[in-house]
Amino acid sequence: MSKVKSSAKLIKEGKLSYEWARSHMQILDNTINRLKKSKPLKGVTLGFCLHITKETSVLLMGAKELGATVACCGGNPLTTQDNIAAFLASQGIHVYAWHGQSVKEYDWCIDQVLKHKPTILTDDGADMNVKAHFDKRFKNMKILGATEETTAGVTRIRAVENQGKLRYPVILVNEAYTKHMFDNRYGTGQSTIDGYLRAMNLLMASKRVVVVGYGWVGRGVAARCHGMGSKVIVTEIDPVKALEAHMDGFEVMPMAQATKLGDIFITCTGMTSVIRKEHILKMKDGAIMGNVGHFDVEIDSEFLLKKSKSVKEVRPALDECVLKNGKKVYLIGQGRLANLVAAEGHPPEVMAQSFSNQILSVMYILKNHKKMENKIINVPEEIDTQVAVDALKAMDVKIDKLTPEQVKYANSW
């Protein structure tokens, strides 16, 4: 059973996109091909709450090839690619996702996935995990464990654990080195530029770009903007990250100061209310705002979309908001993930690493759940290392090994 927008044309387009992505995700493809003969997931129902993109289709089809029954929904109301959803549904995967959902429809889709009674969950933002913990319809459902893909979801899962309410183990895929150092930095860095350019089609060179937050995502976004010739300003609350941004050659200042200088604003924090009404009112006429954190809480989009003098979509995924002070400012993707709403998300090569971590973490839970405590854990080191080895092999990169003399030296006091 599925609920998607579907047509023969969409299915054909989705199949071509899936094949294109899989041909550029050799790490994940190799992992699937290595395991599929033994069907290690046979008899297991997996529930996925992820952005339904061409890259995600490779993970979901791979889980099916390994024997799993797969049910999935979108990780955001605006990020589902309808051709991919239609293709997956045609392949026997239970899909509840379409582009342009209301919040109520988005919530309903998560319900449908949980009604399949999955024993392992893979989440991006923790909406499914939170529902599995606190919705009375699902809180007694037997779940062996879960994985979490993104920074915002990790924050929420930590809060559940800190309250002593975590009822199954959760592997934090986002914390794997082969995830956040590459997906968050290189993936988001490139796809953010892609999303902004598709939405506005303006010159990046010479513009003052304010990057809000200098975690792994902010680092990647700042580096790519700098590479496009932008003058980058960073705002931060963490003194170590602020110092790093300064040493990397970027201007660092409070948001109240950056607000008056920026031409383009990119929020990368995972935190709420980092661009507020008082900031927006001080912006230049023509300033452009967008967010690449998981949730639409970083920019005060309610003030922009509901309390402006007028709002109109002037380009796909770009709203012009005329403020009561007469200034025009612009918001990409209604404050949701600009790199997915206005573009296609991360390139397949980098998602291959993230999704290899996901599939191997699912296998780890299935094998070890009886001895795992109801706690959050990082991706086991052996999985993280294996993904790095597989990635180097896929890229035909060779490295050195320690000589016997070096091993002896390293073990000597």
CATH number at residue 209: 3.40.50.720
Q: Binding residue per annotation — 344?
A: no
- Residue 403 in domain: no
| Same domain as 24, residue 104 | yes
Phi, psi of 143 (to 5 degrees): -125, 130
* pTM across the whole model: 0.92
Answer whether residue 173 is part of any domain.
yes
Kindly give, in sequence order, each residue whose CB lies less than 8 Å from that of residue 305, ignoring residues fewer than 6 positions away.
311, 319, 321, 331, 334
**Residue where the block lists tokens 């986002």:** 174
Residue 3 lies in a domain: no
Short-list 213, 250, 246, CA closest to 231: 250
Between strands 145-148 and 120-123, the pairing is: parallel
Instruction: Note whether 160 and 267 are same-domain residues.
Output: no
CATH of residue 380: 3.40.50.1480
Burial class from Cβ neighbours inside 10 Å (0-12, 13-18, 19+) for residue 87 reads buried
Query: Residue 275 is part of which domain span?
Result: 186-342
In a domain, 327, yes or no: yes
Task: Give how many domains the chain has, as a whole number.
Answer: 2
* 53 labeled binding residue: yes
Nearest to 97 by CA among 121, 120, 113: 113
pLDDT band with cut points at 50, 70 and 90 for residue 140: confident
State how beta strands 208-212 and 318-322 pair: unpaired
Q: Does one domain contain both 160 and 131? A: yes
Same domain, 35 and 128: yes
218 labelled ligand-binding: yes
Give mean pLDDT, residues 42-47: 97
Residue 220 assigned ligand-binding role:
yes
Residue that is written with structure tokens 């949701």 in the block: 336
Residue 217 annotated as part of some ligand binding site: yes
Residue 267 near residue 241 (C-beta atoms within 8 A): no
Given a cut of 90, is residue 413 above it in pLDDT? no
Judgement on whether residues 137 and 193 belong to the same structural domain of the protein: no
Average pLDDT, the chain: 96
Distance CA 19, CA 54 (A): 9
Q: Are residues 85 and 192 in the same domain?
A: no
Same domain for 233 and 161?
no
412 within a domain of the structure (yes/no): no
300 and 151, same domain (yes or no): no
DSSP 30-76: HHHHHHGGG-TTTT-EEEEEE--SHHHHHHHHHHHHTT-EEEEEESS
Q: Tell me the HSE value of 299 on the side-chain side, using a 13 A CA sphere.
A: 30
Q: How confident is the model at residue 139 (pLDDT cuts 50, 70, 90)?
A: confident
Mean pLDDT (whole number) for 128-155: 94
For residue 215, say whether it is annotated as part of any ligand binding site. Answer: yes
Q: Per the annotation, does 219 bind a ligand?
A: yes
Shared-domain flag, residues 207 and 323:
yes
Residues 153 and 129 in one domain: yes
The predicted-structure confidence for 227-276, as pLDDT tens digits, reads as follows 999 999 999 999 999 999 999 999 999 999 999 999 999 999 999 999 99
Question: Is 149 a known ligand-binding residue?
Answer: yes
Q: Is residue 408 part of a domain?
A: no
Asked whether the predicted pLDDT for residue 1 surpasses 90, the reply is no
Q: Is the pLDDT of residue 343 over 90?
A: yes
Q: Are residues 216 and 308 in the same domain?
A: yes
| Contact call for residues 109 and 97 (beta carbons, < 8 A) | yes
Statement: residue 169 has pLDDT above 90: yes
Q: Is 82 annotated as a binding residue?
A: no
Residue 143 is predicted with a pLDDT of: 97
* 405 within a domain of the structure (yes/no): no
Establish whether 179 is an annotated binding residue. yes
Query: 105 among the known binding-site residues?
Result: no
The mean-pLDDT minimum among 145-154, 190-199, 206-215 falls in 145-154
Residue 111 lies in a domain: yes
333 and 389 fall within a common domain = no
